[in-house]
């Protein structure tokens, strides 16, 4: 297993103060799933009346707990809900035994909390292909239930880390006509534990009162513009999960038409998504790729993803090389429409290339100076239409190779 001791240079200065979300309590414990000397399991319990929504990996080889969550998330219920997450073992590609572990944990959580099993959601992250020692988790459920505390979200965020170099949290308070509501969330991702693949897990809670279908539509739409717009290395985990619960404890009703809430939620999703990129394996640069002028939004996304996933673009950024030729290459290979002579490439506001060639105003030293920054913005205008998309990524460095190649399992 790779040893990662230093915090990412792109990490925020500190973990934010997460406000108490009335109707949700958290607990964490050290169950010894794989790690020693740290917490590795967290329980979140949501009060009766809470609604739940979720989005999940599209992998065809997704894990048992993802399939189980997907089977439960789409139904209305007046019951509360529980979320149980372990780190250290992803219970992915463990065949029928994996399904059995999920069932055993859900049954035990249901017994401990008094909830029906259909309201227990689980996630696992860590080593793949090894049987989950689920009894170790079940043995801790009594302790976890006894320790539930509305103020323990930060500890929960730490318990779900694998080789993340920092815990990731975000919060918002929104004044609405009907009263004030709060949102708090945390995530893990882009750390690596041999031989797993950088699973992203996200849990978000609000005391707003939101109907399940409304919550799901907001979560799905905003997820498409945030977590689905980040890439570290183009690889997709079998376990990616985002769950959001709305307790309604504030008594303030919210619908997707409440733009102040929707905007705050999107800012929070983006904040967490960007933190995942900033903990990307080996990352030293945070990169925003914005494509405009494409024939469609879908084409813009193809171009932006092609740029953001190109190893040659990502290594150029690591080398602080204003290598616009590689951006042209990535646009050319994306599969979406492009015309060499209509492209405009900018680093930040600096026009680098236009009309099929380097801009007459461009000076290499200006581009080189921009590339020395920690935050890099690449802008490509395709010159064909009104399609636009933004993707966030990081650079590709020796650190990535060290984390993922320089060990034996």
**CA dist., res. 280 & res. 214, Å (int):** 32
From the CB of 378, what's the least distance to its own copies, in Å?
15
Cα maximum dimension of the chain = 71
Q: Is 81 one of the binding residues for its own copies (CB under 8 A)?
A: no
The answer to whether the annotation marks 162 as part of a ligand binding site is yes
Is residue 229 reached through a cis peptide bond, with omega within 30 degrees of 0 on the bond before it? no
Given candidates 128, 156, 254, 394, which one binds its own copies under the rule CB under 8 A? Answer: 128
- CB 17 → its own copies: shortest distance, Å? 35
Among 356, 373, 374, 386, binds its own copies (CB under 8 A): 356
Is residue 237 involved in binding its own copies (CB under 8 A)? yes
Q: Residue 62 or 182: which CB sits closer to its own copies?
A: 62
Q: Select from 353, 370, 376, 388 the one that contacts its own copies (CB under 8 A).
A: 353
**Does residue number 369 form part of the binding site for its own copies (CB under 8 A)?**
no
- Whether 238 contacts 66, CB under 8 Å: yes
Report the alpha-carbon distance of residue 383 to residue 265 in Å, rounded.
Answer: 32
Residue located via tokens 């399992």: 409
x/- string (CB under 8 A) for its own copies, residues 313-352? --xx-xxxxxxxxx-xxxxxxx-xxxxxx-x---------
Q: What's the CA gap between 264 and 226, in Å, rounded?
A: 13
* Spatial CA neighbour of 265 closest among 177, 151, 184: 184
| Cβ distance to its own copies smaller for residue 218 or 345 | 345
We find the least distance from the C-beta atom of residue 217 to its own copies, in angstroms, to be 25
Query: Would the annotation count 281 as a binding residue?
Result: yes
Burial 286-322 (b: 16+ CB within 10 A, else e): bbbbbbbbbbbeebbbbbbbbbbbbeebbbbbbebeb
Tell whether residue 56 is a contact of its own copies (CB under 8 A): no
Distance CA 257, CA 333 (A): 39
Minimum distance from CB of 346 to its own copies (Å)?
Answer: 15
Within 245-304, the residues that bind its own copies by CB under 8 A are none
The residue from 75, 355, 361, 374 that contacts its own copies (CB under 8 A) is 355
Among the listed ranges 4-12, 174-182, 221-229, 311-319, the one in contact with its own copies (CB under 8 A) is 311-319
The residue from 19, 20, 59, 145 that contacts its own copies (CB under 8 A) is 59
Out of 10, 92, 115, 187, which residue is the one contacting its own copies (CB under 8 A)? 92
Q: By rule CB under 8 A, what count of residues binds its own copies?
A: 75
Q: Among residue numbers 193 through 212, which ones bind its own copies (CB under 8 A)?
A: 194-198
The alpha carbons of the chain give a radius of gyration, in whole angstroms, of 22
Whole-angstrom CA distances from 307 to 232, 293, 378 are 12, 15, 9
Q: Answer yes or no whether residue 405 interacts with its own copies by CB under 8 A.
A: yes
Active-site annotation holder among 94, 199, 238, 241? 199
Strands (E), 128-223: 168-176, 179-188, 201-206
Coil, strand, or helix at residue 185?
strand
Q: How far apart are CA 91 and CA 133, in angstroms?
A: 9
In angstroms, the CA 394 to CA 313 distance is: 10
**Is 359 annotated as belonging to a binding site?**
no
Instruction: State the DSSP code for 119.
Output: G
Q: Least separation, in Å, of the C-beta of 232 and its own copies?
A: 9
Pick one of 7, 38, 97, 363: the residue that binds its own copies (CB under 8 A). 97
Based on CB atoms, which residue is closest to its own copies, 62 or 134?
62
Which segment (4-12, 192-200, 255-263, 385-393) binds its own copies by CB under 8 A? 192-200
d(CA 190, CA 201): 10
β-strand 344-347 against 51-56: which pairing, if any?
Answer: unpaired
Which residue, 179 or 335, is less far from its own copies as judged by CB? Answer: 335
Determine whether 247 is an active site residue. no
N residues, the chain: 409
List, as residue ranges, the binding site for substrate. 162, 188, 199, 281, 404, 409
Residues forming the active site: 199
């Amino acid at each position: 297993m790779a040893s990662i001791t230093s915090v990412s240079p792109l990490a925020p200065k500190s973990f934010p103060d997460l406000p108490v979300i009335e109707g949700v309590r958290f607990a964490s414990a050290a169950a010894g799933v794989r790690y020693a000397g740290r917490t590795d399991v967290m329980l979140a319990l949501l009060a009766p009346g809470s609604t739940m929504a979720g989005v999940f990996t599209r992998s065809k080889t997704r894990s048992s707990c993802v399939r189980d969550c997907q089977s439960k998330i789409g139904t209305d219920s007046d019951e509360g809900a529980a979320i149980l997450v372990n780190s250290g073992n992803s219970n992915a590609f463990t065949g029928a035994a994996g399904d059995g572990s999920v069932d055993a944990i859900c049954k035990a959580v249901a017994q401990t909390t008094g909830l029906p099993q259909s309201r227990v959601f689980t996630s696992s992250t860590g080593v793949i292909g090894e049987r989950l020692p689920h009894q170790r988790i079940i043995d801790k459920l009594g302790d976890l239930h006894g320790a539930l505390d509305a103020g323990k979200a930060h500890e929960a965020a730490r318990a779900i880390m694998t080789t993340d170099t920092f815990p990731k949290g975000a919060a918002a308070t929104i004044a609405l006509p009907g009263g004030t509501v709060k949102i708090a969330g945390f995530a893990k991702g882009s750390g690596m534990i041999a031989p797993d693949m950088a699973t992203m897990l996200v849990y978000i809670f609000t005391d707003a009162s939101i109907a399940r279908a409304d919550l799901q539509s907001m979560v799905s739409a905003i997820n498409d513009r945030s977590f689905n717009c980040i890439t570290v290395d183009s690889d997709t985990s079998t376990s990616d999960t985002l769950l959001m619960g709305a307790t309604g404890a504030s008594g303030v009703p919210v619908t997707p038409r409440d733009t102040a809430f929707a905007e705050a939620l999107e800012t929070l999703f983006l904040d967490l998504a960007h933190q995942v990129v900033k903990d990307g394996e080996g990352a030293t640069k945070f990169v925003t790729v914005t494509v405009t002028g494409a024939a469609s939004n879908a084409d813009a996304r193809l171009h932006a993803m092609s740029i953001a996933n190109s190893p040659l673009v990502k290594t150029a950024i690591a080398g602080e090389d204003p290598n616009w030729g590689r951006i042209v290459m990535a646009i050319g290979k994306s599969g979406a429409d492009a015309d060499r002579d209509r492209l405009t490439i900018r680093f930040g506001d600096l026009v680098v290339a236009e009309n099929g060639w380097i801009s007459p105003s461009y000076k290499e030293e200006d581009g080189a100076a921009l590339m020395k920054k920690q935050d890099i913005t690449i802008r490509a205008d395709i010159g064909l239409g009104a399609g636009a998309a933004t993707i966030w990524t990081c650079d590709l460095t020796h650190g990535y190779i060290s984390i993922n190649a320089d060990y034996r399992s």
